[in-house]
Structure 1
């Protein structure tokens, strides 16, 4: 089987989307293959992987630069600190990640 190119399976405004039982209804892909549940799952996984590779997943774009994933920092805090940070982020209209990043940047700049 050849590699699937997710860009060949794009939904446009003219397309109609409805649920299909692939066990009873025959659906053919543009290349003639029958779409099965397994193939649909494979296509979805490959499309998601390609979207992640291209940094197309909704959310903040790379802080490092185009086409490069920003490093991730994780650490533990007491529950009370998390709750306080979540309230502060909500009050400021930012994500918890943005609040933490800005707090770390401020700390390092001082």
Structure 2
């Protein structure tokens, strides 16, 4: 193992690797792991889709400034603007 290997800035030791290996050899409760949920939480009952969008630095700065003024996330502000435009 390389001495600079870290997880969240904490060095990974041979002892930690051995403990992880022992845990894996015992096995995991697959049902418990599946219940954890993965990724970001959904926005409702329907699945949502990620859409890529290219913006200039100036456009992104304007969106971020407006979102900060309205105490919203960038995504909330963009969704709100799209809903208004599409109405």
- TM-score w.r.t. the length of structure 2 is 0.57
Aligned length: 67
Residue equivalent to 1:104: 82
C-alpha distance in 2, partners of 1:63/1:20? Answer: 36
Which protein has the bigger strand share?
2
Between 1 and 2, higher relative CO (CA 8 Å, sep ≥ 6) is seen in 1
C-alpha distance in 2, partners of 1:71/1:64? Answer: 12
Residue equivalent to 2:6: none
1:24 is the counterpart of 2:15: yes
Calculate the aligned-residue CA RMSD, in Å. Answer: 3.1
Equivalences for 1:1-110 in 2 at 5 Å? 21=13, 23-24=14-15, 27=19, 34-35=22-23, 39=24, 51-52=37-38, 57=40, 61-65=41-45, 69-109=47-87
Runs of 5+ unmatched residues, structure 2: 1-10
Q: Secondary structure at the match of 2:63?
A: helix
Once the two structures are TM-superposed, the CA of residue 63 in structure 1 deviates from its matched residue by 2.7
Once the two structures are TM-superposed, the CA of residue 98 in structure 1 deviates from its matched residue by 0.5
Distance 1:78 1:27, change over 3 A: closer
Deviations along 1:33-62, one digit per CA (max 9) or x if unpaired, are 713xxx5xxx8xxx59x522xx6x4xxx42
Once the two structures are TM-superposed, the CA of residue 94 in structure 1 deviates from its matched residue by 0.8
